[in-house]
A and B are shown apart, each in its own frame.
Chain A
Amino acid sequence: MSEPILVVRGLRTVFHLANGAWAAVDGVDLEVDRGEVLGLVGESGSGKTVTGFSITGLVDPPGEVLAGEVRFAGEDLRAASPERMRQLRGDRIAMIFQDPLMTLNPVLTIGEQMAEAVLEHGTASAQAALAMAEEALGRVGISSARERLAQYPHEFSGGMRQRVAIATALLNKPDLIIADEPTTALDVTIQGQILFEMQKLARETGAAVIWITHDLAVVAELADHIAVMYAGRIVEGGTVAEVLDDPRHPYTRGLLDSVPDVGVRGTRLAQIDGMAPRLDARPAGCAFAPRCSRASDTCRTADPPESTEGHRRFRCHHPLVMEVVR
C-alpha cells in the first residue's frame, strides 16, 4: 500500500501572547489519500484553520509551529526551506480561502493573475498560460471565459469570484487542495455548484482535498473521511458514515443534535451548554468536560488518550456506545 499523499503527526502550533504561549493546535494527526476528501470540522477557535496554515507553512508570528511532522508526498515539509515551500504552494499544494477577495488582487485582471500563477511555477509561454486560464475558468462553469479574463475581480459576483479562486488553485493540477470554509459565505444554490465542481475535480485529477468547515451537513455529503476538532485536538476521526451515524465522542453527538435537520417541528433543539474555552483558558483534563453531561472526575483531571476501533479513533474517557440507530 502506498503512503498517503499527506501525513501529519503530532502537529503542535502555539501562539506567543502577552500572557504565555498557548497551543492552538495541540498534537494533531492527519492522513489524506489521493482522490480523497477529508472534512476537517470544528467551531470557531477550534484550531482547524491554524492546522491548514501549519501544513502549508503559512503560520506567521506570534504563531509558531513547535513540533510534529508534516510529510507531503514523502517530503518533510517542516524541514523544507521557505523558498521550497513557496515553490510547492500554488503548484503542488493549493489553498482556497473563505473570502476570495482576499486571494484575488483587485488591480490585476483575472487573466493576469491566473496567468501569473502558471508562469511562476512553470515554463509555459504567456500565451499558453492564458489559454490554460481560459480552460480552467470553463471547467468551473464560468461561461464566456475569454471575455471574463479581461475583467477585474470587482466585476464578478461572490460565487463567481470563489470559482475563479478555485480555478486558479487548480491551474497547476495540485496534488493537495486545502480549502478553508470556501462556501460559507455563499448561497446554497451557488454552494451546490461549487461542491459539484470540487467533487468532479477531485475525481478527475486525483487530488487530495482537506475541506475545512463548521458545516457538518456539507461534510456528510462531500467527504470520505471526517476529523472533528475541539480546542486544538482531533477528538474524533473516521469515515463519514462511521462518525456521523454512530459517534463515539459526546461533542460529535452534541454537534449532530444541534443541527436542525429532520427534527420534529416545535421541539427544542438539543443544545450543548456553555461555550468553547478560550485559547489561554483551557481546562485541565478533557477540554470538553465542562460542557459534557458524561464528564466524571477523571475527565476533569486526566487527558483522555486516543482510543482506536478499526480505522476510527476518538479521545474520550466515556465514549458513547452504539445506540439505537435513528
Chain B
Amino acid sequence: MTTPVLEVRGASKHFSRRPTLAERILVAAGRAEPPPVVRAVEGVDLAIMRGEVLGLVGESGCGKSTLARLVSGIHAPTSGDVRFEGRPVAGLKGRERLDYLLAVQMIFQDPFASLDPRMRVHRIVGEALAVHKLVPPGDLDKAVDQALADVGLDTAYRDRFPHQFSGGQRQRIGIARALAVKPRVMVCDEPVAALDVSIQAQVVNLFMDLRERHALTYLFVSHNLGLVRLICDRVAIMYLGRIVESGPVAELFEKAAHPYTQALLEAIPRIHGRKREFEPVKGELPSPIAPPSGCAFHPRCPHANARCREERPLLREIASGRHAACHLLTPA
C-alpha cells in the first residue's frame, strides 16, 4: 500500500489560556478551576494521498482551520502524530524538518492580512528563497518572475506593494509565494471565501492548472460545498473537532450517510432551486469548551436516541472507502 503524503493519527489540539499567578495559586490550593480548555481538534485520523485533492468541510468553529495548521506544521498537536511521507514530523530535525516545512505550503483566507503591507511583491515572493538559500542570489529575480508568471501575474508588478492590488491579485501573490519554494502539498484554508464570485472562479481555475503543472497535492479547507464537489476527489466533514464522515466526493454527495452531512447538504441554497420553504436545522453549533455528551451532534439531530446521548460514536468504515461516525449506521 502506498504511504500517504501527509497523515494525522489520533491528533488533538487543545487551546487554553495561561493561568495568571493568582489563578495558579488558587488552582493549586483547590480553590478555583483551571482556565477552560478549547478542544479545537479531538482525536482526528486523516490521510492525504499523493496527487489527490482532499476537501475538509465544516462550519466555523469546527476545527478545520486548526487541523490545516496542524498538518502544515504551524501548530504542534497536543497529542497524536502528524506524519510527512511516513515519518513523524515531531522527530524531524535540521534539513529534514526544513524540507517538510517547505514542502507543505499554506494559502490563507484573507489576502489582505496575509501579505506584509510594507514589502514589495518581489520580496514577498522571494523571501523564503533568499532566507533558506534555495537559489543562488543571482537567480533570485528569475525565480520570482517565474513564480509570478506561474500564477498569471504580470512580472512588471514585481516592484509594487500589496495595497496596489485587488483581492484576487493579492491571493495570486500569496499563491506565488507558496509556489516559489516548490512545494509538494498546498494546504488552502478558505482560499476564495473572501473574493467576489467572478474572481473566485479565476482563482479556483488557477489552483487546478497548478495541480496539473506541478503535480501538487491539496488539502482544501472550505465551507463552500459546491466548490468542494467540483474540485475535490475526497472529502472529510468535521463537526466540533472531529471528523464525522469521509469518502469519495461523488458518493458522499450522492448519498450522505451522517445526519449532519445530510443537514449541511440540505441547507445549501442552490442556484437551480426556486422559491422554496426553508426547513432549518435546529439549534446552534455547540461550544468546543463544553461539547455535548455522546455524539456531539445529538442535540440537533432529528434521529438521536438514548445511545447517542451517552456513547460517542467512532468513525467506522461503512462501505469501501467511506467512513462515518454515527450509531444509526453501525448498530451495537
Q: Which residues of A contact B (CB under 8 A)?
A: 43-44, 141, 157-160, 187-193, 195-196, 199, 214-218, 220-224, 240-241, 244, 254-263, 265-273, 275-276
Contact = CB atoms under 8 A, between A and B. Distances in A.
B278 A199 contact: yes
A240 B270 CA distance: 13
Residue with the greatest number of chain A CB neighbours at <10 A, chosen from B59, B268, B278: B278
A41 to B, nearest CB: 9
A265 B201 contact: no
Contacts of A270: 201
A190 B276 CA distance: 16
B281 A259 contact: no
Given A221-B273, A260-B226, A191 B267 contact: yes
Contacts of B223: 187-188
Given A216-B197, A216-B271, A218-B269, A269 B230 contact: yes
Residue with the greatest number of chain A CB neighbours at <10 A, chosen from B196, B223, B229: B196
B200 interface: yes
B interface bracket (residues with beta carbon within 8 Å of A):
35 or more
Contacts of B279: 192, 196
Contacts of A216: 197, 271
A284 B173 CA distance: 30
B208 interface: yes
B128 interface: no
A261 B271 contact: yes
Residue with the greatest number of chain B CB neighbours at <10 A, chosen from A188, A216, A266: A188
B249 interface: yes
A188 B204 contact: no
Nearest to A269: B201
A36 to B, nearest CB: 11
A222 B275 contact: yes
Given A43-B198, A217-B270, A240 B275 contact: yes
Contacts of A187: 59-60, 223, 285
Contact of B198 (A160, A195, A240, A255): A255
Contact of B199 (A160, A215, A260, A275): A275
B201 A271 contact: yes
B167 to A, nearest CB: 8
Interface in B22-56: none
18 contacts: A141-B280, A157-B284, A187-B60, A188-B268, A189-B285, A196-B277, A196-B280, A216-B197, A220-B270, A220-B272, A244-B271, A259-B271, A260-B224, A271-B205, A272-B198, A273-B202, A275-B196, A276-B198
A226 B200 CA distance: 22
B122 to A, nearest CB: 22
A269 B278 contact: no
A160 to B, nearest CB: 7
Contact of A269 (B168, B204, B280): B204
B226 A192 contact: no
Contacts of B266: 192
A221 B274 contact: yes
Residue with the greatest number of chain B CB neighbours at <10 A, chosen from A43, A261, A262: A261
A261 B200 CA distance: 14
Contact of A221 (B202, B229, B269): B269
Residue with the greatest number of chain B CB neighbours at <10 A, chosen from A187, A191, A262, A270: A187
B113 to A, nearest CB: 16
Given A192-B280, A192-B281, A260 B227 contact: yes
Contacts of B196: 43-44, 214, 275-276
B76 interface: no
Contacts of A193: 278, 280-282
Given A189-B59, A216-B197, A265-B231, 20 more contacts: A157-B285, A188-B59, A188-B267, A190-B285, A196-B278, A196-B279, A217-B269, A220-B271, A221-B274, A222-B269, A224-B275, A254-B198, A255-B197, A260-B229, A267-B230, A269-B201, A271-B205, A272-B198, A275-B199, A276-B198
Residue with the greatest number of chain A CB neighbours at <10 A, chosen from B205, B266, B272: B272
Contacts of A196: 277-280
Contacts of B264: 188-189
